[in-house]
Amino acid sequence: MTDASQGRLPGREPVAVVDIGSNSVRLVIYEGVARSPTVLFNEKMLAGLGKGIALTGRLDPVAVERALEEFRRFRALADQAQAKSIHVIATAAAREAENGPDFIAAAGAIFGSPIRVLSGREEAHFAGLGVVSGFHRPDGVAGDLGGGSLELVDIHDRSEGEGVTLPLGGLRLADMARGSLSEAQKIAKKEIARSGFARLGKGRPFYAIGGAWRNLARLHMLSTSYPLEVMHHYETDPSGIASFLKQVAKGDADKIKGIDQISKSRRALLSYGAIVLQEVIDALKPSRLIVSAFGVREGYLHSLLSTQDQKADPLISAAEELAVLRARSVAHARELVRFTAESFHVLGISETENEARSRIAACLLADISWRAHPEYRGLQAMNLINHASFVGIDHAHRSFIALANLWRHEGLYDDAASEPLRRITPERLIQRAKVLAALMRVVYILSASMPGLIPRLRWIDHGDHGLSLMVPKDKAWLVGERPRGRLDLLGRIVGLDLDMQVDTA
């Protein structure tokens, strides 16, 4: 047996990105530069470089020493992972501090490569690209809250407008307000008002980026017992989160259910994150709040892609990759994509663009749990999909994909396993997930999960609500009691008379 692992995609060369922020420093090693990047290794340290910078104008000396020591480890880790390149970017604290250039020079000597100190506009640009990378056709305002600054940028589809940077990062705001939450509220209100983004944000989604806002979102999810433990594309109505933000902004986060699962090192800045988000909502009046796990790092990585690769669909790209890595046959999965599109049309089931994308992804992922015990394949598929690092998809459509693959293995039952997901999935998507699952159950039992048969299946419409699924004559022995029974169930779900016949044409 070879020592070569099949768990990684061939041809990908690891690349490392180091993000030197005002509060944290982080190393992320990616499998390669790709439309849907996969993380090989991820480590961060809350160094607190920007602590006190608003008062002293300098990077905290203890934080500098801790960060430089961590950079030596980052470099060793990148070498150990055989990263072909290391990209180092630095943000607000490093660019504004009096001793920033000396710190950057020392860090550059450790990494052996130049460090790109981003301007405020560049930081906003890459934050915007992060949202472009992580969402399907985003349209709204993105805000990236770091330790030293808040960047706001207008986003539309695959492009972003000019952004602004405001001195509202958690560490800086705490310093400027000298620890007073009421004073912090006044400062945030004034700075956001002067940003000019009020007219751009009204009635559009607000994409929230940054550790403080992700932790706020996580706490909100815990406090409401939200069933899907995925941060990216968690969304909520601004009015629905108002009382929660008010409580955190008053410094009462310790009384909220789930606070024990938030890192103690992060809790100190939760109130300032809540204050800034309150003022963003008050000034911009967004339609929805949407959390983005993608920010400056991912935006920078996205900028390294070719123009053609940037245009690829991140959800479909990720699903294709997982099919290559885990399915018995990726060719079979692709055949299923085409057949289900044709079948939905014949069965009279309409799809929006996002519903079609989700159906495609569900088909590509339909065989990723085949190595599990048969009794647990559905649960494993559901859990893999629920927790996979997919982007370009909201939680409702992620649930659709998970439910379709649960039911494709387990049968079409509204059981305890599916109940949490059904709570956050619109009825329209639940019904389409059942149709897709029933259709896949027919096809898999006919094809033995191997390619070649599906393209030869065809539907014949007899009128009067009757359709026949035609199986080629040379494959007649594939027709039997079980596939006919499954086709009959599909017919009951869609309200049509369906039968299976041998194609003699």
User: What's the CATH code of the domain at 29?
Assistant: 3.30.420.40
Same domain, 354 and 456: yes
413 in a structural domain: yes
Are 133 and 214 contained in the same domain? yes
- Domain hosting residue 39, numbered range: 15-117
Residue 4 lies in a domain: no
C-beta pairs of 187-190 under 8 Å, 24+ apart in sequence: 188/275, 188/276, 188/278, 188/279, 189/279, 189/282, 189/283
Q: What is the largest CA-CA distance in the chain?
A: 85
Question: Which of the four pLDDT bands, split at 50, 70 and 90, describes residue 1?
Answer: low
The pLDDT score that the predictor gives to residue 3 is 64
pLDDT in tens, 485-498: 999 999 999 999 99
pLDDT value, residue 268: 86
Residues in CB range of 66: below 8 A, 6 or more apart: 45, 47
Report long-range pairs for 174-182 (Cβ below 8 Å, ≥24 apart): 174/268, 174/269, 174/272, 175/51, 175/52, 175/53, 175/54, 175/55, 176/54, 181/249, 181/250, 181/251, 181/271, 181/272, 181/275
CB burial readout 70-102, b (16+ within 10 A) else e? bbeebbeebeebebeebbbbbbbbbbbbebbee
**Is 393 part of any domain?**
yes
Residue 378 is part of a domain; what is its CATH number?
1.10.3210.10
The Cα–Cα gap between 359 and 337 comes to: 8
In one-letter notation, the amino acid at residue 154 is D
N- to C-terminal Cα separation, the chain: 48
Cα gap 422→435, rounded to integer Å:
15
Give the mean model confidence (pLDDT) for residues 90-97: 91
Q: How far apart are CA 415 and CA 62, in angstroms?
A: 55
Same domain? For 275 and 375 the reply is no
Average pLDDT over residues 121-128: 93
Query: What sign results for the dihedral spanned by CA atoms 485, 488, 494, 498?
Result: positive
HEC sequence for 297-362: HHHHHHHCCCHHHHCCCHHHHHHHHHHHHHCCCHHHHHHHHHHHHHHHHHCCCCCCHHHHHHHHHH
pLDDT digits (tens, 9 = 90+) for 72-81: 999 999 999 9
- Please report which helix (H) or strand (E) contains residue 372, including its range: none
Q: How far apart are CA 319 and CA 469, in angstroms?
A: 28
242 lies in the same domain as 283:
yes
Structure confidence at residue 464 (pLDDT)? 78
Among the candidates 99, 117, 135, a domain finishes at 117
Per this entry, what is the length of the chain?
Answer: 505
Full strand arrangement of the beta sheet holding 115-117:
39-45, 25-30, 15-20, 85-90, 115-117
CB-CB contact of 205 with 136 (8 Å): no
What six digits make up the tokens of 24?
Answer: 């944290």
Q: Give the residue from 117, 141, 162 where a domain finishes.
A: 117
User: Two tokens at 281?
Assistant: 């909502």
Do 74 and 140 lie in one domain? The reply is no
Tens of pLDDT, residue by residue over 417-463, are: 899 999 999 999 999 999 999 999 999 999 999 999 999 999 999 87
One domain, residues 282 and 342: no
Please indicate, yes or no, if residue 3 is contained in any of the structural domains: no
Number of independent structural domains in the chain: 3
| CA-CA-CA-CA torsion sign (237, 238, 241, 242) | negative
**pLDDT by residue (tens digit) across 146-189?**
999 999 999 987 777 778 999 999 999 999 999 999 999 999 99
Q: Are residues 40 and 126 in the same domain?
A: no
Could you tell me if 151 and 210 lie in one domain?
Answer: yes
Tokens of 187: 């400062």
- The torsion region of residue 17 among left (phi > 0), alpha (psi -120 to 50) and beta comes to beta
Angle at 466 between CA 462 and CA 472, to 5 degrees: 70
* Residue 196 shares a structural domain with residue 259: yes
- Global confidence as pTM: 0.93
pLDDT given for residue 359 in this prediction = 98
- Rounded Cα distance between 247 and 278, Å, is 11
Domain assignment present for residue 175? The answer is: yes
CATH number at residue 256: 3.30.420.150
Numbers of helices and strands, H then E, in the chain: 22, 14
What is the per-residue pLDDT across 336-365, written as a single tens digit (0 to 9) for each? Answer: 999 999 999 999 999 999 999 999 999 999
Q: Is residue 308 part of a domain?
A: no
Q: Is residue 7 part of a domain?
A: no
**Residue 127 sits in the same domain as residue 58:** no
Domain end point (choices 66, 86, 117): 117
* Mean predicted confidence (pLDDT) in 32-40: 94
Place 210 in a pLDDT band, splitting at 50, 70 and 90.
Answer: very high
**Whether residue 342 is found in the same domain as residue 468:** yes
- C-alpha 363: how far from its chain's center? 19
Pair 248, 201 in one domain? yes
- Strand-by-strand arrangement of the 458-463 sheet: 458-463, 466-472, 497-503
Q: For residue range 99-114, list pLDDT tens digits in order.
A: 999 999 999 999 998 9
- Residue linked to tokens 């999965």: 333
Q: Is residue 8 part of a domain?
A: no
